[in-house]
Every structure is written in C-alpha cells, then in structure tokens.
C-alpha cells in the first residue's frame, strides 16, 4: 500500500503505543560521524574494561546500513520499567530495578517483532531488523538523534516526562519516514550523578568509565572484582541505580504497566543473611526468567562477597 511518509510515521507511532511503547522517534539511517572520534577515544582509554566485544564491529556501531543493507531509517522506542515498589532497602543487598522481573530482551523482542509485522502487513514488503541491546547499535545516540530524549551526564538517555528508568529498542528498516530532530540537553549545571557515584565512574560530564562502573563490575566482569572496589559497591550485587536514583528528572518516573516486569514474590523478602546463604536451587527459582541469570550463581555469590567487604 502506497502511503505518504506522514501517514506511515503516524501509523508506526500509533502501533508502537498499542504495544506499550511510551515514545517513538525517527532518524535517518546514516553514518554517525560525530560519534566516531568519541567512541575511538573512549576505547583507546580502556574505559570499556574487559568488554572486548566493544572493540569489535567498529564500523557496524557507527553505520546502520552495515547491519541492514539499504537501511533508510532508525526507529528508536522507549519502554518503561519503573517498578511499583522499590525492593532495595538500606542495609540490605540491592539489584538494579530493570532486573526485578522477566528479562527485558525477551519481552521487548516479542513486542518489536509484532510491531514490525503489523507495519509490514499494512505497507507491504519492508526489509529490516529489530534490536534490543543485542547487536552493535549505539542506541542512546540514535534515540537522541530521533528526539525521544537527550544523553545525560551519566551517559544514559533522559526524557523530560519519564526520567531514565526505561529500556531502549530499535527497528532499522529500508523505509523512509518523517524524521524527528534532537531535543535540547536539560541537565544544566546539575552534577548529582557524578557526585553520587561511589567508584568515580563518571570522571567528567557525559563520559562513563565503564571499567569502574558497579554495573560493569557486577555483571560484565567475569573475573574477581578488584579489592579496590570491594568496599565501594554500596551493597549492589547486580547492576546499580545510583546515578538514576539521584537524577532530578526521575521524579517524573511513572510505574510501569507490564505484568511481566513484576518481581518474584520472594525477591523483596530476602534478608542479608539469606542472600549469603542462597543456594543454587533458590537462585534458579528466583531468577528463572530474569536478567540476573547473566551473572550466574557463582557470579552472584562473588558479588555478594565483594559487596560485604568493609
């Protein structure tokens, strides 16, 4: 079906909303020229730590047509995960809010595939791929280009009406839409995220040294956590929300409407002692479909041991 860019853009946005996405923006698929030197410099400084995969596919990270030949558009979408209840109590071990419920990779991938299918049903054969943090896509940069938010000083995407407790997802396809433009940066002089980080992982605004980030240390790092960080984990044993929790824009966070993001009923009840005594069977039951499985049982035990250091 032949349609105007305006009609196709409106249709895609409306269907995205039907599938639970809060925001949807469109950018022209082109080489991210401004990002190339920034990414190269970040890698040269070793701020990616042991994440060797960050050095791979350099061109693919910057050029969406390397991922989808003939790509014309990058559609960026936001999906809320802000929980109904904060399970992280002072004095107890903490996990990042995004990992409370079912693994977002599965939840969002299903929705994206259905969304893309409904678009193809309406507009005929369209080539493209959907992405949920699963390929070398610079998702925050594309989201910024498409106007769904701006990249904050903690390097996360911020949205004026939602804060930052949301997932990003993309559809790269060979279809032209009406494109959005970037919005202003509303961080101003605030540096709460920098000041609050216990490991000094944000050495300067908009630059995160991932090798010092608690999320990296408790998830991505497969070796022993260096003793230097042991007493600085602030009880985080999977991921970290500190730079989001202190961000003033997150006062606008609204509770999610996704049943699959609801936590296991026992997750908020474990005492500090019970975390230390957690068995592999309990780990499997609590985190059966959770992103926490990424760190594996041994990794979680390592994180608990490190977080308990004085």
Which residue in 83, 67, 254 sits closest to 170, CA to CA? 67
Task: Check whether residue 197 and residue 169 sit in a common domain.
Answer: no
More confident site: 88 or 27: 27
Q: What is the pLDDT averaged over residues 36-53?
A: 83
pLDDT band at 70 (very low <50, low <70, confident <90, very high): very high
**pLDDT of 54 above 80:** no
pLDDT band at 57 (very low <50, low <70, confident <90, very high): confident
Task: Check whether residue 223 and residue 163 sit in a common domain.
Answer: no
For the CA atoms of 135, 209, 223, 54, the dihedral, rounded to the nearest 10 degrees, stands at 30
Which residue in 158, 276, 278, 254 sits closest to 206, CA to CA? 158
Predicted TM-score (pTM) of the model is: 0.94
Question: DSSP per residue over 10-70, as a string?
Answer: HHHHHHHHHTT-SEEEEEE----TTHHHHHHHHHHTTTTTT-GGGGS-HHHHH-GGGTSTT
Which residue in 217, 284, 213 sits closest to 244, CA to CA? 213
Cα atoms in the Cβ-side hemisphere of radius 13 Å centred on 98: 21
Q: Is residue 186 in a domain?
A: no
Q: What is the pLDDT averaged over residues 202-230?
A: 94
Task: Check whether residue 147 and residue 80 sit in a common domain.
Answer: yes
- Is residue 133 within 8 Å of residue 139, measured between CB atoms? yes
pLDDT band at 175 (very low <50, low <70, confident <90, very high): very high
Task: Check whether residue 169 and residue 196 sit in a common domain.
Answer: no
Task: Check whether residue 36 and residue 140 sit in a common domain.
Answer: yes
Q: What is the pLDDT averaged over residues 245-265?
A: 97
**pLDDT of 52 above 80:** no
**pLDDT of 309 above 90:** no
pLDDT band at 2 (very low <50, low <70, confident <90, very high): low
CB atoms within 10 A of CB 48: 19
Q: Is residue 183 in a domain?
A: no
**Sign of torsion, CA 176 177 181 187?**
negative
Task: Check whether residue 66 and residue 122 sit in a common domain.
Answer: yes
Q: Which strands form 73-80's sheet, in the order they lie side by side?
A: 23-28, 73-80, 166-173, 128-131
Which of these three, 141, 173, 205, is where a domain ends?
A: 173
Task: Check whether residue 200 and residue 127 sit in a common domain.
Answer: no
Q: Is residue 205 in a domain?
A: yes
What's the total number of domains in the chain? 2
Q: Is residue 184 in a domain?
A: no
**pLDDT of 1 above 60:** no
Task: Check whether residue 169 and residue 36 sit in a common domain.
Answer: yes
Q: How far is CA 42 from CA 46, 211, 250, in A?
A: 7, 11, 27
Is 63 labeled as catalytic in the residue annotation? Answer: no
Domain that includes residue 259, residue range: 192-307
Task: Check whether residue 253 and residue 164 sit in a common domain.
Answer: no
Question: Which of 35-44, 221-230, 290-299 holds the top average pLDDT?
Answer: 290-299
307: tokens are: 């977080």
- Is residue 46 within 8 Å of residue 212, measured between CB atoms? no
3-state secondary structure of 284: helix
What average pLDDT does the structure give for the chain? 94
pLDDT at 189: 98
38 Cβ neighbours under 8 A, 6+ residues apart: none
Task: Check whether residue 166 and residue 57 sit in a common domain.
Answer: yes
pLDDT at 45: 86
Q: Report percent pLDDT > 90 for the chain.
A: 84
**pLDDT of 230 above 90:** no
Task: Check whether residue 123 and residue 26 sit in a common domain.
Answer: yes
Q: Is residue 178 in a domain?
A: no
**pLDDT of 245 above 80:** yes
Q: How far is CA 90 from CA 144, 159, 236, 278, in A?
A: 34, 27, 11, 19
pLDDT tens-digit readout, 88-132:
988 899 999 999 999 999 999 999 999 999 999 999 889 999 999
Task: Check whether residue 127 and residue 199 sit in a common domain.
Answer: no
Per annotation, catalytic residue among 18, 34, 103, 133 = 133
């Amino acid at each position: 079906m032949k349609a105007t860019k305006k009609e196709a853009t409106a249709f895609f946005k409306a269907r995205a909303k039907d599938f639970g996405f809060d925001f949807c923006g469109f950018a022209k698929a082109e080489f991210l020229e401004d990002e190339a030197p920034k990414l190269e410099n970040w890698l040269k400084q070793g701020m990616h730590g042991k994440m060797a995969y960050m050095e791979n596919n350099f061109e693919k990270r910057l050029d969406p047509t390397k991922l989808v030949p003939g790509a014309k558009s990058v559609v960026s979408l936001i999906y809320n995960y802000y929980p109904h209840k904060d399970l992280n109590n002072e004095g107890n071990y903490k996990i990042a809010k995004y990992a409370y419920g079912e693994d977002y990779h599965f939840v969002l991938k299903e929705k994206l595939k259905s969304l893309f299918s409904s678009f193809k049903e309406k507009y005929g054969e369209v080539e493209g791929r959907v992405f949920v943090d699963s390929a070398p896509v610079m998702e925050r940069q594309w989201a910024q280009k498409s106007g769904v938010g701006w990249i904050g000083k903690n390097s996360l995407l911020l949205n004026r009406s939602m804060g930052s407790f949301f997932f990003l997802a993309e559809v790269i396809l060979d279809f032209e839409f009406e494109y959005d433009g970037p919005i202003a940066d509303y961080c101003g002089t605030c540096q709460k995220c920098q000041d609050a980080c216990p490991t000094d992982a944000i050495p300067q605004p908009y630059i995160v040294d991932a090798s010092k980030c608690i999320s990296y240390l408790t998830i991505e790092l497969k070796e022993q956590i260096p003793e230097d960080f042991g007493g600085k984990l602030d009880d985080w044993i999977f991921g970290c929300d500190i730079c989001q929790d202190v961000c003033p824009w997150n006062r606008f966070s609204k509770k999610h409407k996704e049943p699959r993001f609801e936590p296991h009923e026992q997750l908020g009840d474990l005492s500090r002692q019970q975390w230390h005594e957690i068995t592999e069977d309990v780990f499997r039951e609590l985190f059966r479909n959770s992103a926490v499985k990424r760190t594996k049982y041994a990794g979680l035990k390592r994180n608990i041991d490190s977080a308990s250091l004085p």
